[in-house]
Amino acid sequence: MSLTILNALVAVVAAIAFAALNAAYLVWAERRGAGRIQRRPGPNVNGPFGLLQPPADGIKLMTKQLMIPGGADKALFMVAPVLAMAPAITSFVTIPFSETIVARSMDIGVLMIFAFASLGGMAILFAGWGSRNKYGVMASVRAVSQAISYEVPMLITVITIVMMTGTMNLHELATSQAGGMWNWNIVPSLSSPLMPVSFLIFFICSLAETNRAPFDLGEAESELVAGFHTEYGSMGFGLFFMGEYANIVIGASLITILFLGGWDCPLGLFPGVWWFLLKIYLLIFSFIWIRWTFPRTTIYGLLNLSWKILIPISLFNLLLTAGLLKVF
């Protein structure tokens, strides 16, 4: 009995540690990647290759004074960063890294992750409203409308996949694609010829859900100073930051599990956790690459893209797959 509890505890702690370490070192990867794209070195002062930069940043953020603007709603102000970080870390519990490495394999894994992702939208609203700053309110309104609009095509695409595989359990979703590249969900098959399109839609939606450029209107630095986290210093900002990167890792993991076969090797030879990690880091690198290449969209361009383009296409794909599944 106690061993099971110990197992569970270790699993949870390991998941949280993985999430936190990723969040911290993704910042390093982003800054080095941005530097390389912009033809400059990126952080290389603290430690070899700047690897000690995240701990240095962490210490700096922790020692700064946490200022709460006068008249701000204290409860909302303090809750918002926690609400941004907690769901992301909690979602790690159910993500399978390989055949055996999974903290807790739940039958409603997909549903749980998306439920927690919606909580993140609330965090943005709390942050903007609670800081009693007009820039913050405008930015959080934008970010919430963006979050809601892009959840819909994402969920429709996920429903398509769940329909094909018949389960919401992330572990089983990944094992159903085992056996090489041609088994992966991204490859168009007889019952779902538009799978690459679904992959693209899901990719764009995860960019938008995690508030990454070109969809980073919530933190549009040039127009709204710093958007919904204008008034946050020190660890409040640190938590938002880490929450964003944890969300990115979750988004990349979801794409990998749903479309790219999880821990499966492309040639079906040596499946394992290293393939999983390779795939998510390649996806995260493409996120970083896209961020530093493209400018920002406008709010109406963003909403148009979601409601007028992505949702009809994903709905069509859903209906097509449902019909074809009946036939084949």
Structure tokens at 60: 């700096």
Work out whether 222 is an interface residue with another protein (CB under 8 A).
yes
Pattern 166-205, binding to another protein, x per CB under 8 A? ----------------------------------------
Minimum CB–partner distance for residue 295 and another protein (Å): 4
Minimum CB–partner distance for residue 52 and another protein (Å): 24
Decide whether 76 or 220 has the Cβ nearer to another protein.
220
Decide whether 134 or 308 has the Cβ nearer to another protein.
134
Q: Residues 184-191: contacts with CB within 8 Å, 24+ apart?
A: 184/259, 184/260, 184/261, 184/264, 185/161, 185/258, 185/259, 185/260, 185/261, 186/259, 186/260, 190/324, 190/328, 191/164, 191/321, 191/324, 191/325, 191/327, 191/328
Amino acid occupying residue 56: A
Size of site (CB under 8 A) for another protein: 30
Minimum CB–partner distance for residue 26 and another protein (Å): 18
Are 150 and 306 in contact by the 8 Å Cβ rule? The answer is yes
Minimum CB–partner distance for residue 81 and another protein (Å): 22
Rule CB under 8 A: choose which of 223, 266, 286, 319 binds another protein: 223
Minimum CB–partner distance for residue 230 and another protein (Å): 12
Q: Which of 147, 111, 141 is nearest to 126 (CA)?
A: 141
Q: Which region among 17-25, 90-98, 178-186, 299-307 touches another protein (by CB under 8 A)?
A: 299-307
Minimum CB–partner distance for residue 135 and another protein (Å): 8
Pattern 33-72, binding to another protein, x per CB under 8 A? -x--xxxx-----------------------------xx-
Rule CB under 8 A: choose which of 6, 134, 148, 319 binds another protein: 134
Structure tokens at 174: 């990944």
Decide whether 4 or 222 has the Cβ nearer to another protein.
222
Decide whether 142 or 279 has the Cβ nearer to another protein.
142
Instruction: Name the burial class of residue 308, with classes exposed (0-12), middle (13-18) and buried (19+) by CB atoms within 10 angstroms of its CB.
Output: exposed
Q: Which region among 20-28, 156-164, 213-221, 233-241 touches another protein (by CB under 8 A)?
A: 213-221
DSSP state letters, 135-169: HHHHHHHHHHHHHHHHHHHHHHHHHHHHHHH----
Angle of helix 74-91 relative to helix 109-130, nearest 10 degrees? Answer: 160
Residues of this chain that bind another protein (CB under 8 A): 34, 37-40, 70-71, 132, 134-135, 138, 142, 213-214, 216, 220-223, 225, 292-301
